[in-house]
A and B are shown apart, each in its own frame.
Chain A
């Protein structure tokens, strides 16, 4: 008995100790987590304070940040959020002056090297002081190119600035901003891929600003309706080209007709290879016609349709080829193969969809149809070879797939009807057997007798 009491006491003691241990451990863990969180917060605050402290010693920041002039205060705040301030570049690194001087005149003494705000046409050179110096840039970001200035000077903007002294053309700050410059991969940057159309159009869509330049101002409106614009701006596909994708960024210019195809070929390489091997290449070169653009347009590139081969009003082939020409015949033949395959796919898709909707397992048929659609896509691309036999070869493979899917789809429908007939027949047999059994049961005597 005594032993039992001891055991019980020991058990309760152990239980209490465990509870105490658990409570201590829980609070301890919470405390450690809070301390860690505090440490992270402290280190983060410290890093911010470090930048602020570093720049607070800087009289440019301390004066301009606390100035009565709201614009200058905003400018300084903007600068503090930018990549330059974050990487330790100070105001005087660009503007000169003495950031250690307390006195305003001494700090911004032009004799001591203060530059102040550069003129607009001086901005490219101003930025290039650092950004064209590989040794300097390497100290901040070894991956950052240093050819922006060289490229800019051969761009449409740079050329006009250099030759025509046109100070309305874009300079570095027009696209990147001024003091609060952000890296291009920052979604808030004006040169972030999906922000680029808006940035370019801030000038190029402004008819007043662009007056006298003989450049259309509807590029953004057109781009928004294009396959590229929809992909980038609506679907968020950052791989889709924005303005810089085709025109370049620092070396932005209008492509020459001979260069359009190369521009498109950056992405559409296979199509380009087909076109180059085709008879059209020499003819286009001879006429100095820009290759892809003639049929597909430029900013407003729309989704291609089969009507673009042969149709009453949408045929691009018909723009150049008469209806009795060899070229028109090739277009007609290619179109016939493609449209035939497309129609077959559509009709079999209806059957397969119907089978799926009524609960049949149509996975195999759907997979075969996908293969057929792949052949259709291939045949549409092969149009750029302008060889009927190439298109026909692929559509033939597609047709075989469609037929296979058709057999599978029809098989499913037949199986469905077979199941239905089987179900009704089995129900009828069961009902008949049940009726016969009921009749037999009724014919039996003594179904319910009183037990003795």
Chain B
């Protein structure tokens, strides 16, 4: 055993990594609980990868076979229903955890120097995960997925100048067809996961290198901390166990449904809604008047959301006060406004 360890140690700098982790300290304070959100996201991502690979054993990404193959997974494959349900639920929980991680990081101003890049890679991860959710939703090729994708891709045509080209590129033609399914599949299992893996690597490297941010409100208090290994890592593991229990419970009580197969000839069902994490945008766009400042309301709305995205991405450079270590109540208020807006619009979109 010792020989093997020596063999590996001579070739891989694992000892350096372990030493770094052993010396890493995690701040302990009233807001420490938010440190677990990043770990939860990572854990759910791992679950996604494992269950996604298992689903790939049976899934067939063609217009003719997609629905039947998912049905086969749900009804014939041993534990197929569980794997698909966990995949679907962990996707939803992952987006939810990312929302929490993002907003808690924003409110705690953890994006302030020197963690600007950590924040920006996190934002990029959020975007990629939304893309994964959007592309994965179509893959069962059922009625709901088909029409939600039709509505979703239609919205891209409102983007100025490149909108129509974007829509055609996403759909692989002018309509949602088998070509859309195959390219969404390519995006879902290759392009986006590879992008995600790269950004996750950089994000984690930055987190390990720069450590956890201590909130401004805790700076004046005695600086307490705990070792990452094993103290924080074991706590992380315990939280992951709780998340696993929630995942199993949700999958058992509310297994993923399949619905009816997609029928492009059928009329769009009444009250079709996108997935919940796009609902706040969908609902907001509906509220814009037909024309604002001489441009179409929908185009204006999309421009506004794009600007909000750019603002969020660059917030470490805009929030000068927190960069100087001072309190930044304006950005705190802005954070709470964003949370209230997303929650309110989502509830309104769902039940309104």
Binding site for B on A (CB under 8 A): 359, 361, 363-364, 419-420, 423, 426-427, 430-431, 433-434, 437-438, 440-441, 444, 446-451
Given contacts A361-B74, A423-B249, contact A434 B226 (CB under 8 A): no
Interface of A is mostly: helix
Judge whether B224 and A448 touch: CB under 8 Å: yes
Complex: how many Å from CA A446 to CA B258? 50
**Chain A interface: which of B7-15, B127-135, B230-238, B298-306?**
B230-238
B241 adjacent to A434 (CB under 8 Å): yes
Q: How far is the CB of A252 from chain B (nearest CB, A)?
A: 45
Q: In the complex, how many angstroms separate the beta carbon of A445 from the nearest chain B beta carbon?
A: 9
Give the residue name and chain of the B residue nearest to A440 (CB). Answer: B234
Name the distance in Å between B311's Cβ and chain A's nearest Cβ.
30
- Would you call A441 and B234 a contact (CB within 8 A)? yes
Q: Contacts A361-B75, A437-B237, A449-B225; is A444 near B230 (CB within 8 Å)?
A: yes
Chain A residues, Cβ within 8 Å of B268: none
Q: Check if B42 is an interface residue, CB within 8 A of chain A.
A: no
Q: B193 near A: Cβ within 8 Å? A: no
Contact partner of B248 (CB less than 8 A), chosen from A359, A426, A446, A450, is A426
Closest 3 A/B residue pairs (Cβ): A423-B252, A451-B223, A448-B28
B294 to chain A, nearest CB (A): 9
How far, in Å, is A241 (CB) from chain B's closest CB?
35
Contact in complex: B234, A448 (CB < 8 Å) = no
Which residue on chain B has the smallest CB distance to residue A445?
A: B231
Q: Given A437-B238, A441-B231, A446–B224 Cβ distance below 8 Å?
A: no
Is B255 in the interface zone, CB < 8 Å from A?
yes
Q: Is B222's CB within 8 Å of the partner chain A?
A: yes
A447 CB contacts on chain B under 8 angstroms: 28, 226, 231
The answer, among B223, B237, B242, B252, for a CB contact under 8 Å with A419, is B252
Known: A441-B235, A444-B231. A427 touches B249 (CB 8 A): yes
Q: Which residues of B from 85 to 122 have beta carbons under 8 Å from A?
A: none
Chain A residues lying within 8 Å of B194, measured Cβ to Cβ, are: none
Instruction: Tell me the complex Cα distance, A446–B225, Å.
Output: 9
B130-177, CB < 8 A from A: none
Q: Say how far B33's CB is from chain A's closest CB, in angstroms.
A: 14
Measured between C-beta atoms, what is the minimum distance from B222 to chain A in Å? Answer: 6
How far is A341 from B115 in the complex, measured between Cα atoms in Å? 73
Query: Closest A-chain residue to B225, C-beta based?
Result: A451
**Chain B residues, Cβ within 8 Å of A437:** 234, 237-238, 241
Structural contact, A449 and B252, CB atoms closer than 8 A? no
- Shortest Cβ gap from A447 to chain B (Å): 5
How many residue pairs, one in A and one in B, have C-beta atoms under 8 Å apart? 61
Which chain A residues border B227 with CB–CB below 8 Å? 446
Most buried by B among A427, A430, A444: A430
- Contact check: which of B238, B255, B258 meets A438 at CB < 8 Å? B238
* Residue B339 lies at the interface, judged by CB distance under 8 Å to chain A: no
With a cutoff of 8 Å between Cβ atoms, the chain A residues found around residue B235 in the complex are: 441
Known contacts A441-B238, A451-B225, A431 near B245 by CB under 8 Å:
yes
> Is there an interface contact between A434 and B238, defined as CB atoms closer than 8 Å?
yes
Contacts of B81 in A (CB 8 A): 361
Docked CA distance A364–B71 (Å): 11
Chain A neighbourhood of B248, CB < 8 A: 423, 426-427, 430
Alpha-carbon separation in the docked complex, A440 to B74 (Å) = 39
Q: Do A359 and B238 touch (CB < 8 A)?
A: no
Answer yes or no: B244 CB below 8 A from chain A CBs: yes
Residue of A nearest to B248 (CB): A426
Please name the residue on chain A nearest to B214 by beta carbon: A451
Docked CA distance A450–B226 (Å): 9
Cα A427 to Cα B244 in complex, Å, equals: 9
Q: Are A450 and B223 in contact (CB under 8 A)?
A: yes
Chain B residues lying within 8 Å of A446, measured Cβ to Cβ, are 226-227, 231
Say yes or no: is B25 at the interface (Cβ < 8 Å to chain A).
yes
Closest residue of B by beta carbon distance from A438: B238
- Chain B residues lying within 8 Å of A449, measured Cβ to Cβ, are 224-226
CA separation between A450 and B75, bound complex, in Å? 56
A43 shortest CB reach to chain B, Å: 33
| Contacts beyond the supplied A430-B245, A441-B231: 19 A-B pairs with Cβ under 8 Å | A359-B255, A361-B75, A361-B258, A363-B75, A419-B252, A423-B248, A430-B241, A430-B244, A431-B245, A434-B238, A437-B241, A440-B234, A441-B234, A446-B226, A446-B227, A446-B231, A448-B224, A448-B225, A451-B224
How long is the Cα–Cα vector from A440 to B241 in the complex, in angstroms?
A: 15
Min CB–CB distance B99 → chain A (angstroms) = 25
Q: How far is the CA of A447 from the CA of B231 in the complex (A)?
A: 6
A426 to chain B, nearest CB (A): 5
A421 to chain B, nearest CB (A): 11
CB-CB under 8 A from A359, the residues of chain B are 255
A451–B241 CA distance with the chains assembled, in angstroms: 30
Contact B241 A433 (CB under 8 A): yes
Q: Which residue of B lies closest to A434 (CB)?
A: B241
Contacting pair B25 A451 (CB below 8 A):
yes
From residue 204 to 222 of chain B, which have CB atoms closer than 8 A to chain A? 222
Which residue in chain A gives the minimum CB-CB distance to B222? A450
Cα distance, A430 to B249, chains bound together (Å): 12
Q: When chains A and B are docked, how far (Å) is the Cα of A444 from the Cα of B249?
A: 31
User: Which residues does chain B contribute within 8 Å of A438, judged by CB atoms?
Assistant: 238
A448 to B230: give the CA distance in the assembly, Å. 13
Distance from B188 Cβ to chain A, minimum over Cβ atoms (Å): 24
A431 to B248, alpha carbons, bound, how many Å? Answer: 13
Give the CA-CA distance A437 to B82 in the complex, in Å.
Answer: 26
Q: A residues within 8 A CB of B224?
A: 448-451
A448–B74 touching, CB < 8 Å: no
Shortest Cβ gap from B82 to chain A (Å): 8
Residues of B within 8 A of A433 (CB): 241
23 CB contacts below 8 A, A to B, read A361-B74, A361-B75, A361-B258, A419-B82, A426-B245, A427-B248, A430-B244, A431-B245, A434-B238, A437-B234, A437-B241, A440-B234, A441-B231, A441-B234, A444-B231, A444-B234, A447-B28, A448-B28, A448-B225, A448-B226, A450-B222, A451-B223, A451-B225
- B255: chain A residues at CB < 8 Å are 359
CB proximity of B139 to chain A, nearest CB, Å: 18
In the complex, chain A residues whose CB is within 8 Å of the CB of B244:
430
Tell me the complex Cα distance, A438–B25, Å.
Answer: 20
User: How far apart are B219's CB and chain A's nearest CB, in angstroms?
Assistant: 12
Q: How far is B75's CA from A437's CA once the two chains are assembled, in angstroms?
A: 36
A450 to B258, CA, bound (A): 54
Question: Could you say which residues of chain A place their CB within 8 Å of the CB of B75?
Answer: 361, 363-364
Chain B hits for A450, CB < 8 A: 222-224
Q: Closest Cβ of chain A: how far from B326's Cβ, in Å?
A: 22
Kindly state the separation between the CA atoms of A438 and B238 in the bound complex, as whole angstroms.
Answer: 7
What CA separation (Å) do A426 and B248 show in the bound complex?
8
In this complex, what residue of A is CB-closest to B78? A415
B239 to chain A, nearest CB (A): 9
Q: Which residues from chain A contact B241 at a C-beta distance below 8 Å?
A: 430, 433-434, 437
Cα of A450 to Cα of B230 in the assembled complex, Å:
17
Chain A, Cβ-Cβ closest to B234: A441
Report B170-202 CB contacts with A as 1/0, cut-off 8 Å: 000000000000000000000000000000000
User: In the bound complex, what is the Cα–Cα distance between A448 and B27 (angstroms)?
Assistant: 9
Task: Please determine whether B242 and A434 come into contact, CB atoms closer than 8 angstroms.
Answer: yes
Nearest chain B CB to A428's CB is how many angstroms away? 10
